[in-house]
Chains A and B, each alone.
Chain A
């Protein structure tokens, strides 16, 4: 079993399988892994648009039109095996429990499932990414000395760890390739662009997907079960394009497909923190590496307001991280020599020699002049400016907004498919919530004697509010028990269609402040369990 090049299939051919997963990015790969055993021999076929490498012609299929708020459609998703994990940052954290609860002050909020239901699947996601079991435990990242959390009053502000997958484990396509090759029941069809879901009439079940290569060979894939896992924008697009029978698009009886498009809001900086003590330890809040069984993990701590404060103040969730303390500091920290030294030193402290010790020694030796010169410059900079400040960068949760949406435009891609139009919008509460959260965090810092924050967000309406998108595509096929409120049900099945499920962040009805992929993976593992039940 393994990889099949769709360009070698005969035109008009029909491929048969049991489970057809459309898209081999984070969601599709995790689901395939979940279904690679315990399915009673059911065959799984991943149908992927790209090949193993980036290719401009395939990527071009992703283009669309942006109206309203600017959005980087091009670089925010990648169309080849491994999907957007081919250049993601690897930062992971579970949603907070409050993110999944209905919050009366956040219209349209709440998931039909709880955080506790996701917990066991988050554990599987950790293992899938090669992260240690204690990746989210603060103590595991501290040394009680320079690397320790600030002493904030627990009911006012929290420090939490934001780990990142080790760089060598981030490209999930490359990482999973061997296990797919060895798998007894999982195949991948590469260079295969799904064009549409074919359904019965009336549309109660999917019969097949219509597929085309860029060379315009056309064929079909028939399966018992179908899963759409093409990313937060393309998931909506493919449902809308599947309009041969359901004229408004599949699962779109209530005009919800494509609506509620959201992204996390990055606001750099919301303020700068003037430290009362220049010796205050910052290490935990800056990027750092830690040895672990499968290689290494990266991590940094961020700040957040506790659930109680969010409830009382009627806030949306928001995470705040320390920005670069000074350009020099960052330049040195980002340098290969510093990172290798830091990594090897920590491993030695933990009583280990890293496997690739020689590689790290070589890095240090090769760049020793940079390390020494940088260290000297840094030391003299600090001596000259003993009291310095740090930027506060916020990543904020937007409120679900039905007017923020993906729809089909009139332009067509080379396969004749209508391209999308993205109309990304914010809500007035988005900026108000970030502003008030910053004020509360500033008060927590002042009370703890950490320092004072100079807030850099003027008061006022949305017109000045220019957050950058985080490039997370959320909400376009949201989950709800009631078909009038959501596209998929609590098991991620498209309402009204008996054999079509969706994997990915398009199912998030509310978004939290954390990056989505960890939850995408947890949901994929949960879906895997569910589909195993359906197959049985």
Chain B
């Protein structure tokens, strides 16, 4: 899949920095305050991811680009299921495992030539939607 949206390299690099280079590292520490704020699993996860991001705006931008390619996924509920959040996977380590598994098995979506795991783009999309809400 390709998109007319031109991903800015800066955004990719910022996302990379946010994801600790190796993608989602295990054992993401989340402040209790963020947990208290979280009203649902989706927003909880979005909040946790946001805490780890150097530039949440960049991730949000990628999320928006992904949703332009995949309008069928344009709902927090859908993304939550796709990310396994409905099955209780709210800790970042489980999502990180999913992200790695995507990369291994070629479940990759291309934005302007860059290949991202579906999981990371869905997270970005979730971020975008929760930002917008």
Residues of A within 8 A of B (CB): 156, 271, 274, 276-277, 387, 389, 439-440, 442-443, 446-456
Contacts and interface: CB of A to CB of B under 8 A. Distances in A.
Nearest to A453: B115
B20 interface: yes
18 contacts: A276-B17, A277-B21, A389-B9, A439-B106, A439-B108, A442-B108, A442-B115, A446-B103, A447-B23, A447-B100, A447-B104, A451-B16, A452-B12, A452-B115, A454-B9, A454-B112, A454-B114, A455-B113
Contact of A448 (B9, B22, B115): B22
B16 A452 contact: yes
B41 interface: no
A469 B12 CA distance: 33
A439 B1 CA distance: 13
B110 interface: yes
Interface in B105-121: 106, 108, 110, 112-117
Interface residues of B, number: 21
Given A387-B13, A439-B108, A452-B115, 6 more contacts: A277-B21, A439-B106, A440-B106, A443-B115, A453-B115, A455-B115
B13 A443 contact: no
Contact of A449 (B20, B113, B114, B115): B20
Given A276-B17, A456-B113, A449 B23 contact: yes
Nearest to B102: A443
Given A447-B23, A455-B110, A274 B13 contact: yes
Dominant SS among interface residues on chain B:
mixed
Interface of B: 9, 12-13, 16-17, 20-23, 100, 103-104, 106, 108, 110, 112-117
Contacts of A455: 110, 113-115
A439 B115 contact: yes
Contact of B114 (A387, A447, A453): A453
A276 B16 contact: yes
A277 B17 CA distance: 8
A237 to B, nearest CB: 43
A210 B53 CA distance: 76
Nearest to B113: A454
A274 B12 contact: yes
Contacts of A447: 22-23, 100, 103-104
Contacts of B21: 276-277, 449-450
Contact of B106 (A443, A448, A454, A456): A443
Contacts of A448: 22
A274 B115 contact: no
Per CB-CB distance, the 7 closest pairs between chain A and chain B, nearest first, are A449-B22, A449-B21, A454-B113, A276-B21, A443-B103, A276-B16, A454-B114
Nearest to B7: A454
A104 B67 CA distance: 40
Nearest to B16: A276
A443 B104 contact: yes
Candidate in B17, B21, B108 with the most chain A CB atoms within 10 angstroms: B21
Contacts of A274: 9, 12-13, 16, 114
Contacts of B110: 455
A453 B9 CA distance: 11
Contacts of B104: 156, 443, 447
Nearest to A455: B113
B13 A276 contact: yes
A389 to B, nearest CB: 8
B64 to A, nearest CB: 18
Contacts of A389: 9
Contacts of A452: 12, 16, 114-116
A447 B108 CA distance: 12
B55 to A, nearest CB: 13
A447 B16 CA distance: 11
A456 B106 CA distance: 17
B115 A446 contact: yes
A457 to B, nearest CB: 9
Contacts of A456: 113
A452 B62 CA distance: 14
A63 B121 CA distance: 54
Q: Which of B12, B23, B115 has the most CB of A within 10 A?
A: B115
Contacts of B114: 274, 452-455
Contacts of A443: 103-104, 106, 108, 115
Contacts of B115: 439, 442-443, 446, 452-453, 455
A446 B120 CA distance: 12
B53 to A, nearest CB: 14
A189 to B, nearest CB: 56
A21 to B, nearest CB: 50
Nearest to B13: A387
Nearest to A155: B104
